Structures are given as structure tokens and as C-alpha cells.
Amino acid sequence: MDSPVAVKEAVLPFNRFRTQEGLIVDSVLGPEMRSTGEVMGIDRDFPRAFAKSQLAAYGGIPLTGTVFVSVSDRDKRAVILPMLRLSQLGYTIMATEGTAEVLQRNGIGATVVAKFSEKADESVDTVVDLIRREEVQIVINTPNGRSARADGYEIRAAAVAGDLPLFTTIAELSAAVASIDSIRTGFEVTSLQEYAAKRAAAL
């Protein structure tokens, strides 16, 4: 039999912890982070294994709904293909102005939504407002720079508080997008003991 692929996912329950000021711990990973556990997804290929790891760790990836995306300048080119695939899969795309401009230039429909710092009065809905009202199902945010990091923190904190899938790197986003077809078609659950028995039988 072909060797299966295994994906280990760290479990980082950011919403359980607060800073000294009472704020949610930022979900941008740093060298001081410590996971509280880990899970493993195993299947015949990477997309299925990744899908299982996300399901076990965080409840999985929504198969419909609205995706919000705001990425740093260095990631704008790399985010095009994953966002194109999400658009093809039927997701609605919302983005901050700079990211939306790049997507639209490449034929990807995206609705512009205000940043947290652009809220002039209560008549303006920012992405944070939309996340808190459960109008967003997936959040993509790769921060860069001091002001962007401050805006990004509010976005990520709202996503964590709302228990939404949150992707902060293009590599993680690409893996998630690749796994969606596997989630939609379904996959079998096989125990490690069953894998071991199949391997022994094949020897």
C-alpha cells in the first residue's frame, strides 16, 4: 500500500488567555508561543490529511459563506491564486481597499470593507463590526508594519472571539484552500491500528 500522509496541528486556544490589560492574546505566532496540545490528521494525500487536522483542532473549515481578506504588501501577489479558487468555489469575498484593488485587477470580485481604524462614526461598518455580527465565516490576515499590525490585531481578536477559522500566513491559507474539495467530497476515518494492519498485510 502507498504510505499515508500525516499532518500534525498545534492547538492554540488564544481565546482562553488575556494580556495584563485584559485583551485577547494576539494570534500572530511568535517564538514564545506554546501549544496546549496537538492533533494529527492522516490520509492518502495532503489535502485530506490537512482537512482532518483542522477538523480535529478547530472544528473544520466552513464550506460556504463570506471570506474576509487583508494581506500585507509582500503577500498581495501570493494571495491571488488562493482567493481565485475560493471565489470559484462560491465564497463571497470581502477585503480592505488595498487587497481588494489587487484582487479586482486580477478578475476576482471583492467588496471593499473599512478597516477598524477607518471607523469615523457609528454609520460606518468596519470588518470588525461584520465579524462580530457573524457576517464573516473565514478571516485571512497577514500583518505588516505598526499601523497595519494594530488594525490586524482588532481583526484577529474579533475572529478569535467569534471562534472563526483564521489564517495568518499564505502557506496555511493555500493548504486550507486545497483541502476544501476533500471536505466537500468527504473522507473516511481510519485508525492508526487499521493503518498498521494494512501495512503489515502488504509486507
pLDDT computed for residue 176 by the predictor: 94
Is the pLDDT assigned to residue 17 strictly greater than 70?
no
The backbone torsions φ and ψ at residue 174, rounded to the nearest 5 degrees and listed phi first, read -60, -40
Residue with cell 490520509: 43
Span 142-176, pLDDT tens digits: 877 554 567 888 888 888 888 889 998 999 999 99
Lookup: cell for 25: 492574546
Predicted model pTM: 0.81
Separation between Cα atoms, residue 198 and residue 182, nearest integer Å:
22
Type of residue found at 174: S
Q: 196 pLDDT band (50/70/90 cuts)?
A: confident
Span 180-189, pLDDT tens digits: 988 898 888 8
Show contacts of 147-153: CB within 8 Å, 24+ apart: 147/117, 148/72, 149/28, 150/117, 151/70, 151/115, 151/116, 151/117, 152/28, 152/70, 153/26
Span 95-109, pLDDT tens digits: 999 999 999 999 999
Domains of the chain: 5-202 (3.40.50.1380)
Segment 21-37 shows an average pLDDT of 55
| Residue among 130, 195, 117, 128 at smallest CA distance from 155 | 128
CB 198 within 8 A of CB 42: no
Q: 15 pLDDT band (50/70/90 cuts)?
A: low
The answer to whether the Cα torsion of 140, 7, 28, 161 is positive or negative is positive
Between 120 and 38, name the one with better pLDDT. Answer: 38
